[in-house]
A = this chain, B = another copy of it.
């Protein structure tokens, strides 16, 4: 029987620590690393993360936009990274934020979650504006092969608050209602729950896994991480992108920055004293 993605993720996080290494080959990051603002530059950037961190980090998250900005050539660069990551045995979450109506989602699921697809990582991020029920083709494709789907529930940016806290017909907020739907879903999809400076933590159901972006960006810090995820039993992968890119491009500096981040994040995730 295929092992569920959240269990695979938990095992890796337990072994290696909670850091998810975000790979964002933005023009600024490429310039800082002395790489070309091109698909080749983005491929080189991503492959250097793999070379430096594949043995010590549980999971890596390439942000698809920073590959797609170079068109089909950029997507070919992402394919190159995905293949290399598979060979290296590191888990990958492809941060694509895809979603449409159900029949179209079947095509996106084929692109990102079919075992034979050139872009198939271990997990994919999707968005729920067209309804969580419309995401079924993603959940089904992922569950069939032990892959994961992370649905954006709470994003790490303040601009999403109004919509994500709107109240549905049953009196619950959009984000609370979504989390509940994910926790009750038989395929056990995961949730993106971002860190927002000073925001009230979202009550988290168990039985699913979490991806937490937003640490150190837009003001959210270790206190916000601790308030949202401290002592949570579910697997939580905490993403850092800019802090790692800023430490590069030297391999040793990247390795050290990741090790420090593991320690720091693990501290934030410890159960808090009452």
Q: Which residues of A approach B to under 8 Å, CB–CB?
A: 24, 26, 63, 65-66, 68-76, 78-79, 95, 97-105, 107-108, 110-111, 117-119, 127-134, 152, 155-169, 173-174, 177
Contacts and interface: CB of A to CB of B under 8 A. Distances in A.
A105 B63 CA distance: 11
Given A24-B104, A71-B119, 4 more contacts: A95-B100, A127-B129, A131-B157, A131-B161
Contacts of A169: 162, 165-166
Contacts of A133: 159
B163 A128 contact: yes
Contacts of A69: 107-108, 110-111, 117
Contact of A166 (B78, B105, B111, B168): B168
A230 to B, nearest CB: 24
**5 closest pairs, A vs B, by CB?**
A131-B159, A166-B166, A71-B118, A65-B107, A72-B75
Nearest to A101: B157
Contact of A167 (B68, B98, B167): B167
A154 to B, nearest CB: 10
A169 B234 CA distance: 31
A256 to B, nearest CB: 25
A163 to B, nearest CB: 6
A140 to B, nearest CB: 15
Given A99-B97, A129-B160, A71 B111 contact: yes
A65 to B, nearest CB: 4
A235 B100 CA distance: 23
Contacts of A108: 65, 68-69
Contact of A97 (B98, B155, B164): B98
Contacts of A110: 69
